[in-house]
């Protein structure tokens, strides 16, 4: 099957402006740097919108329904909306470019936040839940923006580019919760329920993030990188390593990258979700819980620049193994640390965040390495669907494990599960069989056998 984005009849007829980027490595480098700057700005806004809404979503649902049993619904709806939107954002990006695809996700998230505000005003639970589902599109766009910086990056820059987008999210994620009280007072002053105040900030932040990408992310990095890759194949002037990357989809690489991300996301979400409950059972105050989770979130994003350099210089698979080892240490520490020890709990959750960071960045880089630009965004969108669902599953199952067994059993289970990353990485180092590589129609028309990895390529 010929991918819709691979137009062999038009691939040789590029517009003058696009041909300029194909012919000039200097222009490619300039566009790469410009893309990173725009992504950093949009991610600051995106992180603000994401954190501001999530902070009070559960409280708003509880207030409108009058029961604590509804507190978990907003997170579930956000996750479900994020998973569905990840698929759509990936396909829109593949068809129209990164700018329009990511902007659509952020703008939809902004509209969802507006819907939440209206739902609070008219006290409509149905509108609230529908709007939270749409609001999840902003989360999907915020996560997929990390891929955009890799489009024009060299193989030695890709993880660093991912890390720049991720660390930028941290600034917004820290600012959002700290503005909750301010936005609550502002909302009250204009006749809007106080708990809906942060969603005013979320709406503005998501819409600004979308507009930044839609207006300034030009020329589109995905369109340019696809044209460059096509031209390299056509002219047969690409070097051996680049030719291998641009002419094949390495299915083994895709599966390994996704598996690393999914495992780390599952373990992180499971332990993080139940840590506040565990602390509450042992008399820790809300402020102490917030401190532990704050350290955890910081550890998830702040090490990104260092992780990016490690992945690019030391290697993808080595960092992935480090992710498993770090998560193992986190799970063991969380399981055996005295419940009244704030220091040890903070250490456990910091290790949990760092392990997740290692896994997400190394897994992302593996996926980029394994795909051609002509279908890369679509595959990345499919990968992020599994990422979102794994987090939701981990969070949901964690409650059942703690209810029937204990927090220690949950943590030990997460530690053991993280070890699965090691055999996956060992498997990835084996020689790639011909069945694990799907060649593009330009080079070969041989159909591939159905497999699990076809989920990503079709």
Nearest to 457 by CA among 361, 365, 391, 381: 381
- In this structure, the answer to whether residues 226 and 257 fall within a common structural domain is no
**Residue positions counted in the chain:** 458
- In this structure, the answer to whether residues 98 and 183 fall within a common structural domain is yes
pLDDT of residue 177: 66
* Statement: residue 452 has pLDDT above 50: no
How far apart, in whole angstroms, are the C-alpha atoms of residue 353 and residue 329? 12
How far apart, in whole angstroms, are the C-alpha atoms of residue 361 and residue 326? 14
Angle at the Cα of 414 from the Cα atoms of 410 and 416, rounded to 5 degrees: 115
Q: Is residue 5 part of a domain?
A: no
- In this structure, the answer to whether residues 366 and 308 fall within a common structural domain is yes
pLDDT of residue 214: 95
Q: What is the pLDDT of residues 347-400, one digit of tens each?
A: 999 999 999 999 999 999 999 999 988 889 999 999 999 998 998 888 878 888
Q: What is the pLDDT of residues 92-136, one digit of tens each?
A: 999 999 999 999 999 999 999 999 999 999 999 899 999 999 999
Buried residues in 58-83 as b, exposed as e (16+ CB within 10 A): bebbbbbeeeeebebbbbbbbbbbbb
Domain boundary among 215, 237, 259: 237
Average pLDDT over residues 11-28: 82
DSSP state of 285: -
Q: Is residue 244 part of a domain?
A: no
Cβ-proximal residues to 38 (8 Å cutoff; 6+ apart), any chain: 212, 213, 216, 217
- In this structure, the answer to whether residues 278 and 362 fall within a common structural domain is yes
pLDDT of residue 47: 86
Bridge partners, residue 248, by sequence: 439
- In this structure, the answer to whether residues 342 and 226 fall within a common structural domain is no
The answer to whether 57 and 75 are in contact (CB under 8 A) is: yes
CA dihedral 72, 77, 82, 85 (to 10 degrees): 180
- In this structure, the answer to whether residues 153 and 197 fall within a common structural domain is yes
pLDDT of residue 9: 41
Outline where DSSP puts E strands in 333-439: 437-439
Looking at per-residue pLDDT, the higher value among 439 and 227 belongs to 227
Q: Is residue 1 part of a domain?
A: no
How far apart, in whole angstroms, are the C-alpha atoms of residue 402 and residue 406? 4
Q: Is residue 242 part of a domain?
A: no
Q: Is residue 4 part of a domain?
A: no
How far apart, in whole angstroms, are the C-alpha atoms of residue 288 and residue 23? 57
Q: Is residue 243 part of a domain?
A: no
Domain boundary among 203, 237, 271: 237
pLDDT of residue 385: 93
Domain that holds residue 261: 249-458
Residue with tokens 């939809």: 108
- In this structure, the answer to whether residues 100 and 133 fall within a common structural domain is yes
Average pLDDT, the chain: 84
The answer to whether 357 and 304 are in contact (CB under 8 A) is: yes
- In this structure, the answer to whether residues 347 and 438 fall within a common structural domain is yes
pLDDT of residue 431: 45
Tokens found for residue 401: 């494990």
DSSP string covering 72-138, please? THHHHHHHHHHHHHHHHHHHHHHHH-HHHHHHHHHHHHHHHHHHHHHHHHHT-HHHHHHHHHHHHHH
pLDDT of residue 130: 94
Domain boundary among 187, 202, 237: 237
How far apart, in whole angstroms, are the C-alpha atoms of residue 178 and residue 197? 13
* Statement: residue 176 has pLDDT above 50: yes
Q: What is the pLDDT of residues 219-274, one digit of tens each?
A: 999 999 999 988 877 765 544 444 444 445 688 889 999 999 999 999 998 898 88
- In this structure, the answer to whether residues 352 and 216 fall within a common structural domain is no
The answer to whether 384 and 285 are in contact (CB under 8 A) is: no
Quote the percentage of the chain above a pLDDT of 90: 51
Distance of CA 348 to CAs 213, 329, 355, 357, 412, Å? Answer: 37, 8, 11, 14, 12
Residue with tokens 């839609």: 214
What CATH number is associated with residue 373? 1.20.1250.20
Domain count, the chain: 2
- In this structure, the answer to whether residues 220 and 277 fall within a common structural domain is no
Angle at the Cα of 401 from the Cα atoms of 173 and 61, rounded to 5 degrees: 45
Average pLDDT over residues 161-186: 82
Nearest to 221 by CA among 18, 396, 367: 18
pLDDT of residue 69: 57
- In this structure, the answer to whether residues 56 and 124 fall within a common structural domain is yes
Highest-pLDDT range among 4-13, 417-426, 428-437: 417-426
Q: Give one word for 123, left, alpha or beta, with left for phi > 0 and alpha for psi -120 to 50.
A: left
* Position 428 confidence tier, pLDDT thresholds 50, 70, 90: confident
- In this structure, the answer to whether residues 110 and 172 fall within a common structural domain is yes
Bridge partners, residue 437, by sequence: 250
Q: How many beta carbons lie within 10 A of that of residue 340, not counting itself?
A: 11
Looking at per-residue pLDDT, the higher value among 17 and 92 belongs to 92
Distance of CA 328 to CAs 29, 352, 397, Å? Answer: 39, 9, 19
Buried residues in 199-238 as b, exposed as e (16+ CB within 10 A): bbbbbbbbbbbbbbbbeebebbbbbbbbbbbbbbbeeeeb
The answer to whether 297 and 153 are in contact (CB under 8 A) is: no
How far apart, in whole angstroms, are the C-alpha atoms of residue 104 and residue 48? 17
Q: Is residue 105 part of a domain?
A: yes
Q: Is residue 8 part of a domain?
A: no
């Amino acid at each position: 099957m010929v991918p819709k984005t691979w137009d062999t009849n038009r691939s040789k007829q590029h517009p003058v402006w696009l041909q300029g980027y194909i012919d000039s490595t200097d222009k490619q480098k300039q566009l790469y740097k410009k893309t990173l700057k725009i992504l950093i700005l949009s991610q600051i806004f995106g992180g603000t919108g994401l954190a501001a809404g999530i902070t009070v979503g559960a409280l708003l649902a509880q207030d409108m329904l009058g029961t604590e049993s509804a507190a978990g619904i907003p997170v579930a709806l956000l996750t479900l909306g994020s998973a569905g939107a990840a698929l759509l954002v990936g396909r829109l990006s593949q068809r129209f470019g990164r700018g329009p695809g990511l902007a659509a996700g952020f703008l939809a998230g902004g509209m969802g936040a507006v819907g939440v505000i209206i739902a609070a005003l008219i006290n409509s639970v149905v509108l609230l839940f529908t709007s939270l589902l749409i609001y999840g599109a902003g989360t999907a766009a915020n996560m997929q923006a990390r891929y955009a910086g890799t489009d024009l990056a060299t193989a030695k820059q890709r993880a660093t580019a991912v890390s720049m987008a991720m660390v930028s999210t941290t600034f917004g994620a820290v600012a959002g919760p700290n503005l909750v009280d301010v936005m609550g007072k502002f909302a009250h002053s204009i006749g809007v329920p106080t708990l809906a105040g942060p969603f005013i900030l979320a709406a503005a932040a998501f819409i600004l993030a979308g507009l930044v990408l839609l207006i300034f992310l030009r020329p589109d990095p995905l369109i340019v990188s696809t044209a460059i890759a096509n031209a390299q194949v056509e002219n047969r002037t690409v070097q051996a390593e680049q030719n291998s990357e641009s002419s094949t989809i390495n299915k083994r690489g895709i599966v390994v990258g996704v598996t690393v991300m999914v495992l780390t996301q599952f373990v992180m979400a499971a332990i993080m979700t139940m840590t506040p409950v565990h602390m509450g059972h042992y008399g820790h105050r809300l402020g102490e819980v917030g401190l532990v989770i704050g350290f955890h979130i910081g550890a998830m994003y702040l090490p990104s620049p260092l992780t990016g350099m490690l992945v690019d210089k030391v290697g993808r698979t080595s960092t992935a193994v480090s992710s498993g080892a770090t998560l193992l240490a986190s799970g063991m520490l969380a399981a055996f640390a005295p419940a009244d020890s704030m220091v040890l709990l903070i250490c456990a959750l910091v290790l949990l965040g760092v392990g997740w960071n290692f896994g997400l960045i190394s897994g992302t880089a593996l996926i980029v390495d394994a795909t051609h630009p002509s279908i890369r965004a679509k595959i990345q969108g499919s990968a992020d669907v599994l990422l979102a669902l794994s987090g939701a599953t981990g969070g949901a199952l964690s409650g059942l494990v703690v209810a029937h067994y204990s927090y220690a059993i949950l943590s030990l289970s997460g530690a053991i599960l993280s070890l699965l990353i090691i055999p996956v990485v060992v498997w990835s180092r084996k020689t790639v069989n011909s069945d694990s590589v799907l060649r593009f129609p330009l080079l070969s028309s041989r159909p591939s056998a159905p497999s699990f990895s076809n989920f990503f390529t079709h």
